[in-house]
Amino acid sequence: MTINYSMSTKSIKVKIFGSEYPLRGDNEDFTKQIAEYVDTMLTKIHDKIPEQPPLTVAVLSALNITEDLFKERDRHQEDVGNLEREIVKLSNYLDNCLVADTGEQST
């Protein structure tokens, strides 16, 4: 999500870690979903280490969210690589079928 600071989008109020924030976004449901994810991560970290100050909880949450993002990017790249390999296999198979079919027709 890119937070849009222009006035052309609707203000969406979300609550994250006990504080309310007015955000601007193109898709209200998506913005709320992201805010909920951040809130959940902050709460989960805070529950594990309640003695830590909010800034530490926020930094650790940001690191966990970024780790999730990087893992998802890696999975996506792996999926793209697998798809590309399958496309090459199918393309080669079809080329071979066309060559075989052309050879049969010329005899």
Give the DSSP H or E segment for 14: strand 11-16
3 part of a folded domain: no
What is the number of domains present in the chain? Answer: 1
Contact 9, 24 (CB under 8 A): yes
Domain residues for the domain of 31 are 11-106
Residue 101, pLDDT score: 76
40 part of a folded domain: yes
Cα(29)–Cα(6) distance, integer angstroms = 18
6 part of a folded domain: no
59 part of a folded domain: yes
5 part of a folded domain: no
2 part of a folded domain: no
Reported as a single tens digit per residue, the pLDDT across 70-82 is: 999 999 999 999 9
pLDDT confidence of 9, banded at 50, 70, 90? confident
Q: Is the pTM of this model over 0.75?
A: no
CB atoms within 10 A of CB 32: 16
If one compares 99 and 105, the residue with the highest pLDDT of the two is: 99
1 part of a folded domain: no
4 part of a folded domain: no
